[in-house]
Amino acid sequence: MALTDGSLPSIKGFLRTLSPVDQVGADARAAMLATRSIKTASKRWAIDMAISMIDLTTLEGADTEGKVKAICNKAIRPDPTDPTVPHVGAICVYNDMVSIARKHLDASGGHDIPVAAVSTAFPSGRASLEVKERDTKDAIANGATEIDMVIDRGAFLSGDLEKVYSEIVFIKSLCEGKAHLKVILETGELVTYDNVRKASFLAMAAGADFIKTSTGKVSPAATAPVVLVMLEAVRDFYQMTGQRIGVKPAGGIRTTKDAIKQLVLVKETAGEEWLNPELFRIGASALLNDLLMQRKKLTSGHYEGPNYVTLD
């Protein structure tokens, strides 16, 4: 049974059943969870888990073939000196870099690393549906098996929820059987946690496989309370439908400490089932090197310097 038939009254009616979010309370909960302290043995596990959850990302106007190939290499062997380091969760690039990434990964032993394409006129989403359709089809045709689409925030904020919903349903239909759909809410533009919660449910009801916080182009991005609210949403959606939806924070997660805090949020909010790359991803670039440095420190017992990890 669908949660909504996609008409505006039906969507509104569905979203109205959601409980509101108190901002101060959510902030306080996220801050409290940030004080949890992790066992050393668990820390090693958490670092490896975090590495395997990374959507290693480059989304620059200055991206080149060379740059994309370099991060693909890094994705396959994050630490060339240590083969026990797992590969990352995925590579995340712009549409025109998808085939370069796919081919390079396949040629370098990274068959099992998916390529995610940011799609639907990323990051603003300000384009016609035809363009978004073409963008998505193009990415899939070039080998993307994960589509990171953006929602129409303008439509959301102006109350045109039908448009937001139907676009997700449409893009999902293009992905069906070929790619996982991650729906980017761009929480920094939605501003309130109430909006984050509503947009999360809207995306999930429309068929998102993942809900993702941000494009990385807007600040604030993946703050701990926003991730908390989205994790609560996937937990509640699971209670409602029996279906587990993934969460992907992206933007602003740069240190091992940040990443471990994210894992604590996952464990305490959605539960241990979500502690795997199928249901939790972290969109990041610089984070990987910090995780590698901390991992070395756990092995060697002394603090590492940035010159001892590779700079891609």
Least Å distance, CB 111 to another protein, is 26
Q: State the Cα–Cα distance between residues 7 and 95, nearest whole angstrom.
A: 31
Cis amide prior to 220 (ω within 30 degrees): yes
Binding footprint of another protein on the chain (CB under 8 A): 19-29, 35-42, 45-46, 49, 191-192, 232, 263, 267-268, 272, 275
Contact by Cβ (8 Å): 148, 212: yes
Of 186 and 232, which has the nearer Cβ to another protein? 232
Residue closer to another protein (CB basis): 27 or 162: 27
The total number of residues written for the chain in this structure: 312
User: Judged by CB, which is closer to another protein: 70, or 275?
Assistant: 275
The least CB distance from residue 48 to another protein, in Å, is 9
How remote is the C-alpha of 111 from its chain's centroid?
A: 21
Cβ 125 to another protein, closest distance in Å? Answer: 23
Residue 51 CB, shortest distance to another protein, in Å, is: 14
DSSP string for 231-261: HHHHHHHHHHHS---EEE-BSS--SHHHHHH
Grouping H, G, I as helix, E, B as strand and the rest as coil, residue 78 is coil
Given the complex with another protein, which of 27 and 138 has the nearer CB atom?
27
Give min distance, CB of 25 to another protein, in A. Answer: 3
Q: Say if residues 86 and 113 touch (Cβ distance below 8 Å).
A: no
Q: Which is nearer to another protein, 150 or 230 (CB)?
A: 230
Distance (Å) of CA 109 to CA 56, 77, 85, 87, 148: 16, 10, 15, 11, 24
Task: List, in sequence order, every beta strand (DSSP E) within 100-175.
Answer: 115-119, 146-150
Catalytic residues: 148, 212, 248
CB of residue 291 vs another protein: minimum separation in angstroms? 15
Q: Which is nearer to another protein, 49 or 91 (CB)?
A: 49
Nearest to 184 by CA among 52, 289, 92, 271: 92
Report the b/e string of 192-220 with b at 16+ CB within 10 A.
Answer: ebbbbbbbbbbbbbbbbbbbbbbbbebee
